[in-house]
Amino acid sequence: MRKYGFIFSFLVIPVILYAIFVISPYLQAFYISLTNWRGISANPQFIGFENFTRLLGDDVFWAAVRHHAVLLVAMPLITIAIALFFSFLLNVGGGSKSGKMAGVRGSKFYRVVYFFPQVLAVAVVGVLFQAIYRPDNTGVLNGLLDLVGLGPVGWLIDTNLALWSIMGVIIWQGVGFYVVLFSAGMAAIPSEVFEAAALDGAGRFRLFFSITLPLIWDTIQVGWVYLGIAAFDAFALVQVLSVDRGGPDNATTVLPLEIWRTAFTFSKFGYASAMGVALFFLTITFAALSLRVTRRERIEV
Amino acid sequence: MATQTDAYRAAPARATSRRRQKKNQLGAFGALSHIALIVWAILVIGPILWTFLASFKTNPEIMGDAPLAMPQDFSWASWGRAWEKAHIGRYMLNTVLVVGVSTFFTMLFGSMAAYVIARFRFPGNRIVYYLFVSGLAFPVFLALVPLFFVVRNLGLIDTHLGVILVYIAYSLPFTVFFLTAFFKTLPNSVAEAAMMDGSSHTRTFFQIMVPMAKPGLISITIFNILGQWNQYLLPIVLLSGSVEDKWLITQGIANINTNAGYEADWPGLFAALTMAILPMMIVYIIFQRQIQSGLTAGAVK
């Protein structure tokens, strides 16, 4: 039949490419994680769950998991809070103008500017913030602190601060995307809803907490899941920014960095894949849990 | 709310005074919110502007105690050094080549697959669709080790062809996911009319459906260009240190940064950073509307 020939001819190349470079590596990863493969021997030995039991006693692994936990809680909360605040101002903060709810003045400009870091390569952002975070007075941030008479801070070399400094960059880069995301959500709310509430005397706080927040809850939930996955994905910034790749003293290391290092520096492919599998289950568990927990009755408008 | 309005009506005098009070409150809130918006705009633009200015400074100016001072004179020497000595020109060219070719084929194969999935019934339709979409959920880090060996066994490690094929494969999930939804929304009648006139399936696709899908195709094309241009992880895995002349821009930038400690050409580093930032900035400013809607389209239904 002509139809099936056509369907086949259109699907064959994309499906083959996808099967070779995406599906097969994912499937192989699960098998490799059960072997002691080090890349040299042709026949990796099957060792069952040994890699995983070793993982349980690996301090660096647990340090990395702890850092994901910190990122997972703090980074989405801060990013979403900032983004919600700004997108509210940009969409309804200007009050009602000639019967239509409007954003504050210049909202279009802010929306364009805030999104900008999003289109910069993470590697570029990493290198840029290294100059900003330099530990002595030659760093931009410490230079600013110096102007107001405060001593230099070891942003990336202080073990208590380093992870937070890197998180700051992730937030700096991410906020613009969520401003745009939440703005799109707010634009979908009919403006009569706001106007009716405003006429009834609801102030901006009331407008925000009683109307905006519940009505864009779906979008916030999507944002939360994206940010959570980003928290498991942090690689380039940690690799470029951290001292000693994950340092100082493993204070900033994350699973992707450990996977990359275990595989391509130490050639422990089996062990690295076991970490990959752990990361996979952490990500999936997070996504499933957060979709469940944040599920709410849909409010129909 | 209704009772409150009635109360206003009953006591107009009191209501006006209260309303005035509220207006003052909003005034203070308005001023504060403008300050917050401006502060974040400066936080976003500041580092980028600083990078640009630093490319005109001299080493002592950058490494001195006044990182915030303006450059003494504007010379383009460091731009020349970054372009020639740090090979930014070469990396840029490599990246344009790789991203150009792989975006083109991502769009071609992606839209072909999406079109067939969206508009034809055939056994396995759902399976193919979910196969592609499942790629959105898996962390790339899980596939990293096997991917390296798949590419190496095909003899494509350290080649641009290898990077291009991998880029296409990893861009397919989102492209297919988005375009399937898009092709579903296109009207049936035009395609049917073409078929009645004896146009083949293939011809109908290229001459009728693709032009109709243009807005969706543009959004996803830009999305893929940005994503592939900024990719950092895949190039460092697929193009090793032994083929430095084949490196891509993000790799090159991250590398000058590591080397800058020894060579200490800071203005060169910042010139290189600016060169990596500028093309993205221009693309973004021209297409910001499509980029913002393209990036958020997947999340807001």
- B113 lies in some domain: yes
Residue that wins the pLDDT comparison between A220 and B219 = A220
A269: exposed, middle or buried (C-beta count within 10 Å: 0-12, 13-18, 19+)? buried
Integer angstrom CA distances of residue B137 from A36, A284, B174, B181? 27, 8, 10, 18
Tokens, residue A180: 């745009």
pLDDT at position B3: 41
Nearest residue of chain B to residue A222 (CA atoms): B299
Cβ-based contacts of A126 with chain B (< 8 Å): 254, 257
CB atoms within 10 A of CB A223: 23
* Nearest CB partner across the interface for B150, out of A21, A122, A132: A21
Instruction: Record the pTM.
Output: 0.86
Q: Which CATH architecture has domain A59-294?
A: Orthogonal Bundle (1.10)
Q: List the single residue in B with minimal CA-CA distance to A171.
A: B44
Tell me if B275 is assigned to some domain: yes
A-proximal residues of B, 74-93, CB under 8 Å: none
| A 253-292: CB under 8 A from B | 255-256, 259-260, 263-264, 269, 272-273, 276-277, 279-280, 283-284, 287
Q: In this structure, what token pair is assigned to residue A224? A: 């939360």
pLDDT at A271: 93
Contacts of B1 in chain A (CB under 8 A): 197, 200-202
Q: Which residues of chain B neighbour A223 with C-beta distances below 8 Å?
A: 299
Please say whether the dihedral angle defined by the alpha carbons of residues B46, B49, B53 and B54, taken in this order, is positive or negative: positive
Structural domain contains residue B98: yes
Tally of CB atoms within 10 A around A161: 18
Q: What does the buried/exposed string (b/e) look like for B206-233 if buried means 16 or more CB atoms within 10 Å of the residue's CB? A: eebbbebbeebbebbbbbbbbbbbbbbb
Within 8 A of A226 by CB-CB distance, chain B residues are 299
Chain B residue numbers with beta carbons less than 8 Å from the beta carbon of A280 are 138-139, 142
Please state, in angstroms and rounded to a whole number, the distance separating the CA atoms of residues B106 and B121.
23
Q: Spell out the per-residue pLDDT of chain B, length 301, in tens.
A: 344 444 444 444 444 455 544 444 456 777 788 899 999 999 999 999 999 998 898 877 877 777 777 888 788 888 888 888 888 889 999 999 999 999 999 999 999 999 999 999 999 999 999 999 888 878 888 898 899 999 999 999 999 999 999 999 999 999 999 899 889 888 888 878 888 888 888 888 888 888 888 888 888 898 899 889 989 999 999 998 888 899 999 988 888 766 655 556 788 888 988 998 998 888 888 888 877 777 666 554 4
Please list the residues that pair with A35 across neighbouring strands: A46
The domain locations on chain A are 59-294
Rounded-to-integer distance, Cα B77 and Cα B56, Å = 8
Between residues B263 and A70, which one has the greater pLDDT? A70
Q: Is B278 on the interface with A (CB under 8 A)?
A: no
User: Is cis: bond before A248, omega within 30 of 0?
Assistant: yes
Size of chain A, expressed as the number of residues it contains: 301
Instruction: Kindly compute the dihedral angle of the four CA atoms of residues B103, B104, B105, B110, in this order, to the nearest 10 degrees.
Output: 80
| Contact predicate A133/A248, CB 8 Å | no
Q: Does B110 touch chain A (CB under 8 A)?
A: yes
CATH code for the domain of B188: 1.10.3720.10
* pLDDT value of position A272: 93
Cα A298 to the chain's mean position, in Å? 26
C-beta separation of A268 from A258 below 8 A? no
Q: Is residue B1 part of a domain?
A: no
Which pLDDT value is given to residue B298? 57
Phi first, then psi: give them for residue A57, nearest 5 degrees.
-100, 10
CA torsion angle B119 B121 B124 B129 (round to 10): 20
Which residues on chain B are in Cβ contact (under 8 Å) with A139? 67
What is the rounded distance in angstroms from the CA atom of residue A269 to the CA atom of residue A249? 24
Please, are residues A112 and A208 in contact by the beta-carbon 8 Å criterion?
no
pLDDT band at A169 (very low <50, low <70, confident <90, very high): very high
Residue A155 has which token pair? 């942003």
Torsions phi, psi for B47 (to 5 deg): -60, -35
What domain count does chain B have?
A: 1
Any CB–CB contact under 8 A between B185 and chain A? no
DSSP 8-class letter at A33: T
Q: Which of A32, A82, A92, A119 to mutate to test the interface with B (most CBs of B within 10 A)?
A: A119
* Full residue range of the structural domain in which residue B140 is found: 79-298
**In terms of Cα–Cα distance, which of A21, A59, A23, A52 is closest to A36?**
A52
Which of B5, B39, B99, B142 to mutate to probe the A interface, most A CBs <10 Å? Answer: B142
Using a CB-CB cut-off of 8 Å, the residues of chain B touching A15 are 113, 128, 131
